[in-house]
């Protein structure tokens, strides 16, 4: 059986409706950025070797990780049927039988275990909203010329507004990498601020595309400007870059979040995305969140993992814990 007391604690509803109002553009923190690259890379490389969770605690952490997943499909061959199947998986990410055999069914009676959101292209927002009706699972839409972010600016704004009108409660925007690479911080600030205004009531996640920014300093600077402009979350990657979410890049972003909180008192969320496919990886990012920002930032209102296949591997790991064997992937429900 999984650790019941730990699961009860992690299934507590954490509500924090505070938005990030942003601040005026302040280039002081941007100019003052200092990065000890060797220390950052060493910390990232040793995270999984210095910390571990096993047995009942690991099962509890994996069940918690499921709640933080933005279950995603962003493929050129997406169809309404694909999105509907994904939404069904989001509603029931772990089989009812497995939850019963783990001894945790009672924990999820009043607050069912679901993923944190479903993330799709604008074309499928209405389909996902209809499929998730009554579940409380929000729909996130990628926007602003995802993944390259090179569409005309007016088109980007209209895309955001259209997705919100269609029912998206979260918008994952992409910044113009050019502004970072050329050091045009005013242009980046104005762009992200305009995106934030277009989102209206929908929470905005700013994808800074860490793999295309060149340096850890640029990752830190882009994170700072995106938060000053009002981003509710900062997100590592589109999942379409050659290099996506890394622990080193994530560590830099988390320290930017901590500095912003210390300065403003506002909690900004974090979303790693791209290449996170294994249960072990999800544990690494949860440990990083716990150590760098604390338990509050491990909750779905402040932490999401963008992934498509991750939930299937988590279910396989939970089956091994419950039954002492791994199921073949062919027995996993389509995610």
Residues labelled catalytic = 172, 235, 271
Q: Nearest to residue 185, comparing CAs of 233, 151, 221?
A: 221
Give residue 91's region: left, alpha or beta (phi > 0; psi -120 to 50).
alpha
Return the H-helix or E-strand segment holding 225.
Answer: helix 216-228
Q: Nearest to residue 270, comparing CAs of 233, 221, 244, 239?
A: 233
Cα angle, residue 316 at apex, residues 207 and 98 outer, rounded to 5°: 110
Q: Nearest to residue 115, comparing CAs of 90, 88, 134, 140?
A: 90
Instruction: Give the separation between CA 14 and CA 7, rounded to whole angstroms.
Output: 14
Instruction: Give the separation between CA 6 and CA 287, rounded to whole angstroms.
Output: 15
Q: Per-residue b/e over 103-138, b at no fewer than 16 CB within 10 Å? A: bbeebbeeeebbbbbbbbbbebbbbbbebbeeeebb
Q: Nearest to residue 208, comparing CAs of 169, 243, 259?
A: 243
Tokens 């074309």 correspond to 123
């Amino acid at each position: 059986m999984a650790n019941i007391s730990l699961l009860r604690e992690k299934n507590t509803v954490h509500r924090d409706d505070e938005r990030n109002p942003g601040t005026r553009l302040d280039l002081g923190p941007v100019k003052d950025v200092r990065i000890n690259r060797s220390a950052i890379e060493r910390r990232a490389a040793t995270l999984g070797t210095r910390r571990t969770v096993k047995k009942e605690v690991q099962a509890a952490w994996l069940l918690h990780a499921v709640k933080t997943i933005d279950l995603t499909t962003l493929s050129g061959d997406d169809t309404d049927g694909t999105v509907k199947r994904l939404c069904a998986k989001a509603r029931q990410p772990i089989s009812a039988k497995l939850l019963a055999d783990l001894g945790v069914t009672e924990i999820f009676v009043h607050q069912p275990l679901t993923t944190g959101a479903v993330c799709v292209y604008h074309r499928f927002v209405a389909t996902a909203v209809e499929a998730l009706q009554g579940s409380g699972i929000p729909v996130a839409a990628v926007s602003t010329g995802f993944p390259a972010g090179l569409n005309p600016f007016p088109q980007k704004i209209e895309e955001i507004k259209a997705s919100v009108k269609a029912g998206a409660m979260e918008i994952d925007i992409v910044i113009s990498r050019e502004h970072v690479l050329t050091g045009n911080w005013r242009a980046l600030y104005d762009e992200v601020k305009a995106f934030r205004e277009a989102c209206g009531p929908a929470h905005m996640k700013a994808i800074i595309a860490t793999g295309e920014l060149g340096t850890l300093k640029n990752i830190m600077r882009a994170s700072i400007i995106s938060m000053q402009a009002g981003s509710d979350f900062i997100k590592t990657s589109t999942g379409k870059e050659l290099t996506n979410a890394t622990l080193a890049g994530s560590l830099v972003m988390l320290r930017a979040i901590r500095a912003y909180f210390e300065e403003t008192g506002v909690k900004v969320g974090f979303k790693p995305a791209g290449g996170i496919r294994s249960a072990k990886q999800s544990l690494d990012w949860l440990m990083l969140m716990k150590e760098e920002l604390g338990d509050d930032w491990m909750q779905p209102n402040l932490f999401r993992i963008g992934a498509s296949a991750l939930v299937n591997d988590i279910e396989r790991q939970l089956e091994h814990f419950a039954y002492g064997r791994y199921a073949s992937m062919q027995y996993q429900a389509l995610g």
